[in-house]
Amino acid sequence: MAKRAILIIVFLSFTAFLGASGERSGVINTYTAEIGVREASGNNDGLEVERYLASTGLGKGYAWCAAFVNWVYQQNNIKGPASAAWSPSWFPDEKTLAVELGLRGDVFGIYFRSKGRIAHVGFLDEDFENGKHTILTVEGNTNEAGGREGDGVYRKRRGKNQISKVSCWL
């Protein structure tokens, strides 16, 4: 009987691990497929951008970095925060990690002093590693310079010192 109980526990643990791993892979595959999406006119618009915005209940014309994160999660049946279009809402205490624990597929936030809050979010596209000063990200509503009001979905290399918060929804 004890052997059976141990086997069941091992099986359930392995199944949970595979589920989490598969969920993370799905998120990574989804956001990676969106790299290269661009706004139609540079005014927070275009077919894909408007789909991202619609995932939060917004229409064209709004800043959409958080909407991009929400849309990716929706495509993978992961529920985000109630106010998914608002960047700070991606960092509730129960989901927020120590930044150095961030993994590929987790959400990162950048604090803007001028706004007094997290004002840009995206995905970590590699795990945090000690000794490295930069990290790959994938972000919506950014640009080549890494601005928070950009024109598309980009893979960026950011300084780790830019990352204020990391949350795990997986």
Q: Where are the domains of the chain?
A: 2-167
pLDDT of residue 1: 47
Residue 2: how many CB atoms within 10 A of its CB? 6
Q: Residue 13: which region, alpha, beta or left (left: phi > 0; alpha: psi -120 to 50)?
A: alpha
DSSP state of 151: S
Q: Which amino acid type is present at position 119?
A: A
pTM: 0.87
> Hey, which CATH number is domain 2-167, 3.40.50.620, 3.60.15.30, 3.90.1720.10, 3.40.640.10?
3.90.1720.10
- Residue 16 — pLDDT band, cuts 50, 70, 90? very low
Q: What pLDDT is attached to residue 144?
A: 87
Q: What are 70-106's pLDDT values in tens digits?
A: 999 999 999 999 999 999 999 999 999 999 999 999 9
Beta strands in the chain (DSSP E): 96-97, 107-112, 117-124, 134-142, 152-159, 165-167
pLDDT tens-digit readout, 36-47: 999 999 999 999
Residue among 36, 27, 85 nearest 60 (CA):
85
Structure tokens at 20: 């989490």
8 A C-beta contact, residue 108 and residue 137: yes
